[in-house]
Homo-oligomer: A and B are copies of this chain.
Amino acid sequence: MPNNLTIALDIMGGDYGPRSSLPAAVDAVNSIEHLTLILCGNERLIRTELDKRGALTHPRIHIQHCSEVVNNDDKPSLALRNKKDSSMRIALELVKSGRAQACVSAGNTGALLATAHYVLKMLPGINRPALISSVPTQTPKPVYLLDLGANVICDAQTLFQFAIMGSVVAEQAQNLTKARVSLLNIGAEEIKGHECIKEAAKLMQACPDLNYIGYSEGSDIFTGKADVIVCDGFVGNVALKTCEGIAKLIFHKLNKALNKSIFYKVLALLLTPVLKKLYKRVNPDQYNGASLVGLRGIVVKSHGNASEKAFYAAIKEAVREVERQLPEKIQHKFEQVLKNSAAEK
């Protein structure tokens, strides 16, 4: 029997707010028996929506009223300073106080990062939190890509720490003994890239606790040659969103090509289930949440314009991370790396 677990949801965040987060919450408690949810947001709004879905008195749904909402265009520093009763902030405070074991939000990424960093604090020895997500590959296993936008500039030590955190995530999620870690660069040769990348490569190469396999290029991300690919948050964000863009372009062009004659229109109709499934699978931002790692608590970021299904997937991701005790595992790995590097000296 799995242990009971409690997750705090920022119901107000994201482009659709409660419209996508609330139905997802109701689905989640209905399908995951040991899950309790604390819905953070405007109580009246939440009550109305729960009532509509016949879930107002659900024994595993609790409401935590919050008077403020962090908007998508709020500056992170101002959201942190001025919106102390926001649904995002309160959901994070619930994790901090131990009332919840994880938090899920589809809100403003910058504000979530800044607030999570401030409220939860970093695990010992880790410089910066990173956003990590899995991306499909040509093999049955996905690749974990980080950082996806938490840090626009990263030094070599930070990239090295990302490699360690990414390894733990991939190993836990995919049952690997030693995740293959690669650094994203603009060429496979050792001479390529800027100094920071080269320095990070040296750190990874020298660490006996990492299975570092060298550089990857953008085209290698999806081949399955690595389990973890590390890059700074600017590059990772552009790479992830470029995937989203090109996937849309391909399906747009395919649709157009299949609309050119009655013959192809019929083919298109027959192909619809295959294409729909494929589109979801190659558009990672749509089907799962990115996780913030390196913090003393679990925070899952759902896509800003996440549908009900995507928000549900983010809740499930949070459940899995609680079950895997991800922050504890990351902390343990860092202690081990530190011990081994001290023993070497």
Contact = CB atoms under 8 A, between A and B. Distances in A.
Chain multiplicity (copies): 2
A60 interface: no
A237 interface: yes
A73 B282 contact: no
A206 interface: no
Contacts of A194: 152-153, 234
Contacts of A149: 186
Interface in A227-260: 231, 233-235, 237-250, 252-254, 257-258
A189 interface: yes
Contact of A240 (B73, B218, B241, B271): B218
Contact of A270 (B75, B110, B267, B278): B267
A219 B242 contact: yes
B235 A218 contact: no
Interface in A179-197: 184, 186-187, 189, 191-194
A184 B257 contact: no
A175 interface: no
Contact of A233 (B186, B222, B244, B252): B186
Contact of A254 (B189, B235, B274): B274
Contacts of A271: 267, 271
A116 interface: no
B242 A218 contact: yes
A264 interface: yes
Contacts of A242: 218-219, 221, 239, 242-243, 246
A333 interface: no
Interface string A61-79: 0000000000001010000
Contacts of A257: 274, 277-278
4 closest residue pairs by CB, A with B? A218-B241, A218-B242, A219-B245, A222-B249
Given A217-B238, A246-B282, A267-B267, 18 more contacts: A73-B189, A186-B237, A186-B238, A193-B234, A218-B237, A218-B238, A218-B244, A219-B241, A219-B245, A221-B245, A222-B245, A222-B249, A235-B238, A242-B242, A250-B250, A250-B278, A250-B282, A253-B282
